[in-house]
Amino acid sequence: MTYIVINTIVIRCDAQLSAAEAHGMATGMLCANEQAQSTEWLNELFRHATPATDQDRATLVHLFEETRDLLASDEFEFDLLLPDDDNLLGEQVEALTYWCQGFLLGVGFTHTASDLSKEVTEILKDIAEFTKLDTEAEGEEDEGDFMEITEYMRSAVLLLRSELNKRDEQ
């Protein structure tokens, strides 16, 4: 699923968020509750937006379920839905900040700060800091930092999924 396809859908429906933020929200919901349903996510996406067409809803449901499968996979194939490398680095960083905002929102639908372990809370604080990244990024050093952060996020998401769902099983 490409960023541009999902972004076109959310823009067309005036969902007032980007594809990155929408995917972050879906990922956060699935990390916090692996039983989360796509209908919950779609209701949040389109709470104040134009209803999506059946085809667009089907595409979004596919993204949600694909995200669920990738999170559950042992192959470490999960990745953040961000603009391609051929986009300006600043655009990629901006999308990452929105992805992180969406992720925190998605986790927040299920968990409150008081029911989280210290380790989970620390990771969520890191993610909250990533929402403040400088989007004026350019050059090799900033590109390297961006790559490090996205790799950290991939690992953090999988760890959070494990930790948050382990707590729910108790």
The pLDDT tens digits for 80-121 are 999 998 899 999 999 999 999 999 999 988 766 667 788 888
Structure tokens at 6: 């999902």
Residues 127-160 have pLDDT tens digits of 999 999 988 888 899 999 999 999 999 999 999 9
Q: Name the nearest CA neighbour of 56 among 13, 87, 22, 97.
A: 13
- CATH code: domain of residue 165: 1.20.120.740
Rounded distance between C-alpha atoms, residue 106 and residue 100, angstroms: 10
| Single-letter code of the amino acid located at 39 | T
Please report the pLDDT score of residue 117 as a whole number. Answer: 83
CA distances to 48, 71, 87, 161, 163 from 17, in Å: 11, 23, 19, 24, 28
pLDDT grade for 170, boundaries at 50, 70 and 90: very low
- Per the structure, the complete domain to which residue 150 belongs is given by 3-169
Structurally, how many domains does the chain consist of? 1
As a whole-number percent, the residues of the chain with pLDDT over 90 amount to 69
User: Does the structure show a pLDDT above 90 at 63?
Assistant: yes
